[in-house]
Chain A
Amino acid sequence: MFLKPMVMHIPDGFLSVAVSIGMWVLAAIAIVFALIRVNRDLGEREVPVMGVLAAAIFAGQMLNFTVAGGTSGHLLGAALATILLGPWAGILILTCVVGIQALIFQDGGILALGANLFNMGVIGVAVAYAVYRLFQRIAGGQKWGIFVGGFAAAWASVFVASLAVALQLAISGTSPANIAIPAMAGVHAVIGVGEGLITLGALALIYAARRDLLKIGDAQPAGSKVVLIGGTLLAILLAVLSPLASAFPDGLERVAEDVGFIETAQEPLYNIIPDYVFPGVSNEALATILAGIVGTLVVLGVSLLVAYNRRKARSVS
């Protein structure tokens, strides 16, 4: 395939319904905030600038360099977009990129899109912003702050986002925490270095060609404090939570059970008649057979309709 699927895009089927919907809500809140902010800052220029830059990040993910033995480093671009355009625009751009990848290229699921948006769009951007600003402050306006900060921001955005992916998988009961978290963290600690190096190269070129753009990124848009604090908190929380969850997978199992409990709590919704497996039938084996028959009949009906339509279409043509 032309666009290599990234390890970080969770497909459908891997997250529990509760986790998926929770992530959708969190991602939606962040995106709506970002829309309002960017609209206020950029005004009528918003649509062309965000649209074209989202296309650029999407296409930029094709840029790669060989590392060794057939593996290659890629650009994800969350940090680059954030450093150059600020956190709110970064969230919007990544939202468009990740959304299109899921909807058109099946790179990540549709129900799982909320989680993917949150991991790459919100966590990736917020963490990159927090780390970059931290280095800027330490460097006190010196040149190295841009480069070291850019590298660190890119690495951290990839690394922390991968921790979030592992935690979501573990809470969904899809992957045991003590295996998923070290594995994801290990792989992405390396992938993050590639991301950091590419981001560094990009910043070096932009510093030489259009230094004013980096100055614009310096001016803090109003309300970015929220992102700064949020990004720092997310990074610390995930960094502390992950090794903890990894060391005590039982604790996470309990969370998974609790989340699972939320799902089983919905059961009365389905249980039209309690104490019966199938409405009106108390024998379990019989109920299973009945369920199978009813289900098959329903689908058979659909299939027959399909076949009938095909025949009609063929006889017409």
Chain B
Amino acid sequence: MSLHVHFLDPYQTGSSLVHRLDPRVKLILAVAFILANALIPSGAWAIYLLMLTLSLSGAVLSELGVGFVLKRAFLALPFVLAAFPLLFTVPGPTAFSVGSVQISMIGLERFASIALKSWISVQAAILLATTTQFPDLLQAMRALRLPRLLVAIIGLMWRYIFVIVDEVLRMLRARAARSGVSVDASLRSGGSVVWRARVTGGMAGSLFLRSLERSDRIYAAMVARGYDGEVRSFPLPPLSTVNWLVLGGGFFVLMILVTLAVLVWR
């Protein structure tokens, strides 16, 4: 009765070109793509369209399909609500009005730009996470000079996430099993909000204690296998020519797009 690991891990097995690309190149390009997206001034619709074309090209190349990536990308969109007031508060000529509320042209442009940017950026992040296995991503982080200790902690965290998520699911199942509803409608069930919160708090507390004890056992097991506090890892292989070309080409394309956008729309 354990959790299906793949339910949590967004990695999609495959052997496409994007899957086979070096994780270092993928991570750098994803970050560069998102940075480029942020540098494009608002209202540069043509450039947004081209950026979207790039991210969708990636989706096609990854053999995950455009639909798959686009559908996932919508999940991050509710935050757009934060930019919603811009429609009414940015001064400028009125685009159109709903009743007595006026929507300004500049506000509309800024709002649409933010929503589009966010949507396109998250596609790059999705591509990275779905085509790169976690251990490879860890290697890429190391190559990018993230502190070795931090990478080691994240690696161990990933190793135990599945175990502990399982534990949480068992706790939730147990709580659901205890929480009966009486047939007699006059009997209130579920207690007060404060009581429910405290029950959940108890679960969090025991989860914490169990995890602390588990970390003791893990530490003992690591010491028994010769762990001495030093994090050792294999040296990373050099990048192949193809990977260098993809990296350089990616940078080149992004730079041209950002330069064009800034020159024309700023």
Contacts and interface: CB of A to CB of B under 8 A. Distances in A.
Interface in A69-83: 73, 75, 77, 80
If over half of B's interface residues share one DSSP class (helix, strand or loop), that class is named, otherwise mixed; here it is: helix
Interface stretch (B28-36, B97-105, B180-188): B28-36
Contacts of B47: 295
A236 interface: no
A179 B204 CA distance: 34
Interface in A1-41: 1-2, 5, 7, 9-17, 20, 31-32, 35, 39
A14 B160 contact: no
Interface in A31-88: 31-32, 35, 39, 43-56, 58-60, 62-68, 73, 75, 77, 80, 84
Interface in B231-266: 231, 253, 256-257, 259-260, 262-264, 266
A302 B147 contact: no
Interface string B65-95: 0000000100110110011011001000000
A106 interface: yes
B114 A277 contact: no
A14 B118 contact: yes
A291 B117 CA distance: 20
B144 interface: no
Given A5-B75, A51-B153, A99-B154, A201 B200 contact: yes
B201 A200 contact: yes
A136 interface: no
B157 interface: yes
A149 interface: no
A94 B7 CA distance: 23
If over half of A's interface residues share one DSSP class (helix, strand or loop), that class is named, otherwise mixed; here it is: helix
Contact of A52 (B31, B38, B156): B156
A294 B260 contact: yes
B165 A5 contact: no
Contacts of A310: 60-61
B35 A111 contact: yes
Contacts of A100: 154, 157-158, 161
Interface string B193-206: 11011111111111
Contacts of A176: 85-86, 89
9 contacts: A11-B118, A14-B79, A55-B158, A56-B208, A106-B126, A106-B129, A204-B202, A278-B263, A306-B61
Interface of A: 1-2, 5, 7, 9-17, 20, 31-32, 35, 39, 43-56, 58-60, 62-68, 73, 75, 77, 80, 84, 92, 95-96, 99-100, 102-107, 109-111, 169, 173-176, 179-180, 194, 197-206, 209-210, 213, 264, 267, 270-271, 277-279, 287-288, 291-292, 294-296, 298-299, 302-303, 306, 309-310, 313
